[in-house]
Each structure stands twice: as structure tokens, then as C-alpha cells.
Structure 1
């Protein structure tokens, strides 16, 4: 798996990207974090994205988690802090449940964890609509559904925030995500018991201030209630790590301290 390590700070942070994001998807956020001098940041391409081969095994959240655990072992990383976003938050939660010795703190930003909802059916229907649009009409239709699901607002950004231009790998990454990762996220069921009754790691469900009342943020609030806390708020919305990297980095540092 392709890995990028940035900075030399004393605090180890792993970013588990959302959607079809590869190791470079949070470049502006990583730059802000490294500039503090406090972080060494690891990012990577999940299997099937950009520079990481898909392999022959079925893609599940659990297989992504196992990949990440092996990656951390390969780089001999100590217990680290994790920022997982969307599907990356599901991977982070699974890692905290099944590999707790690897995790110090996990910030799980707007995970689509439907099992914690009182009525998961409406959320699951919206997830299926994205997959069905892709199967019937292709990438543009699926992305319209996905952007509506996550309430993306490109105007909710810092004045100097740059929206990354799609590279040549984007279409292939989106196709892999919609074919394999989106169904895997919809089918995933977290082994909750270790997080509810065990010792650390510390798990902090998080939402965006702009989207905290939107349907896709409901699982984070529900998970926080199960953990006996309230969801931590971060500036911006579902994609604030790209659109508000300065404010997001400052809030991340505040929360981890």
C-alpha cells in the first residue's frame, strides 16, 4: 500500500480518508498540522485507490482495517491518534474495537454507522440510492446523489481554500469506491461492545457545525449518546478537512490536547 509520512513532530496522527480520497486528499490539512511542529502525519491510499492495488480478496470495512493494522506494524508506529472521516471513520472505529492497542484517540467524523440509529431504514435508502444511480446512470448521477446525501456546500470554505483539481486517477477511484467501498460501508456492522465497556482507546464521534443537524450526521450523534457523551463539533461540514483546513487543523489540535 502506498504511504506518505509528513513532518517530524512528537505526536503521531493517522488520517483515514473519506470517500475515494487517497493519501493526497487532505494535503492542505496535513500542511497546517505539520506547520505546528507537533505532528508526524501518516496518510495512505486504501486498497484499490490510486497507487494501492485492489488485490483479489473481497473488499470490506474489516479488510480495510486489517490493511491499516498491517501498515502501522510495517512502519513500527506507536499507539497513535486517528482522524477518520466518513468511511474512514468506520475503519477507525473498527480499528479501535479490534486493534485497541494501536489507537490512543480516534476522532470519528460523521461516520455512516447506521446500526446505532433508532430507524436505520431512511439512511440506508439514501445510501442505496447512490449505488443504484451509479449502476443505472453512471458516475455523474451517482455523484449528484452522494453530494446531496453529504450536504456539500462549496461556498462554506475559507477564502484561500483551494478545491483540488481532479487528477487522471479520479474516475477510476470513484468507480472503485462506488463499486466496492460504498456497499461495504452500507453492510458494515461494528463490534460495539469493546468500545462501550472496555478500557481506552478514547473514541470521539464528531460532526461539522454546518451539518450537525443534517441526516448524515445522525449516526455520530447516536454513537456519542451510546458512549455517554456529546458529539464534538468541527468547523464546516462533511468536507471541512478540504474546505476549511486552517480551522479544522486548529480544532483538531485543541481536541487532541
Structure 2
């Protein structure tokens, strides 16, 4: 997963000596170590021209806390960083807007889906008004969080339309496109269109396999979880159980028992066992 996408002339090299090792720990799934190292780096000291390193390191710490299932703590950390990012980079800088998407995602995980939708709409609108080269990614990232929240709210047709719109506008074969495909599949399952959902899962899985060569922890358990839900909808319980068990095992190993995705896999296994 590419944690850092932007580098302006007045910003530090975010793939440089200070942050690259933290990103490597995160990509390797060593989330507790990444969080500790990020907090150590954030403590500084920094030269005035490198002041952006501190907030960026703290963002990685929040991402790592989220990956460990500490969603309340991550939400609080993102919220505390918003004014800091605004002062350091500017309120409409890609870093600041993407941080807002991070926070919106965790709000949705915590069940605050309406707040997530409102925040993502605002972020995407701001990004779409900008001509910056990175704003296409920022807007698509916000839309991906919005799609998930809409699906969780039961607004499946809206989620489908938005996911298709985002996929049409964002064609980079990266983690974000993978998430958007899975979100589309999730919205289709919500409408009972399970065959179409499985077709989207298969497309997502092809991309996941390609990305996993560089990032073996990409979208941990997500493909299996969405596939299992669609298979269960089709009445293919045995296949659904195999995929759900695979999702649960992967999430338990890499993310731990407190992560929301582990909980989703556990809930789905309970549904399958109850049928």
C-alpha cells in the first residue's frame, strides 16, 4: 500500500530516510512496531523546512492503530491531526483532504455512517474543484469510503451508482481501485444481485493477486469476505463457509480479534452456521 503519494516543493521527501522505514513496517503488517516507530519519529526534533514530517508520522501512527483494531483511538488521533495538517499543509491540500477521508472511514466503522457520508461528500467536492494532479486520487478515495457507508445504511442503489462512477473516473490498478471494486460487489449483494457481485469479486481478486506481489497484506480478508456473502446469498453455504473461514483466519492472523473486519467475518460465520 502506498502510504505517501504527494510531494510538493515545500514538503519533505516522504519516501526518505525518516518515513520510509515506518512505511515498510506497516506494509509488512508489523503494525504495532510501525505505530511505535512513527511516534518516535514524530517527537523530532526537525529542521524548520522538515516540519511536515511530524504530522505525517503521526498519521501513520493513527493508520497503524486502526490496523490493530483500535478504531476509537484512531478516530481521536485523526481528529486531533486535522487542525495540525491545516496549519502545516493547508486545509485543501491533498494531505489534509485524505486525512479527512481516513477519519471518515473510521467513523463509519464505529457506526457513524451518516457523518462519514457528509464528510466524504465535502472532501470529494473540494478535490473535484482543484486542478492539482493528485486530486483525482483524493476524490476517489473519499468516494470509496462514501460507498461503504451508503451500503451500511442500506442505500445500495446509491452506493452502486457512486462506485461505478468512481471506477469510471479512476483507473489506476492499485489498492484504491481494488477497494472500489469490492465496494461495488458489496452494494450488488445488498440488492440481491449475487451473480453480478461474484463477477466483481473475481475482477477484484485478479487485481489483488497482482498487488500482493508487492504488498502481501493488501486488503486482508476483504475479497474472501465479500465473496462469502455473495455465495451465501446464492444458497451455496458450503462454499461460503470456506471463504468466510479463510477471511476470518487471515484477519485474526494479520489484524487481530478487535479489528472490524475480523468481527464482520465472525458475524458472517455465525449467519452461515445458523442457516
Question: TM-score, normalized by length of structure 1?
Answer: 0.30
Bigger Rg, structure 1 or 2: 2
Structure ranking higher in strand proportion:
1
Higher relative contact order (CA 8 A, sep 6+): 1
Question: TM-score, normalized by length of structure 2?
Answer: 0.29
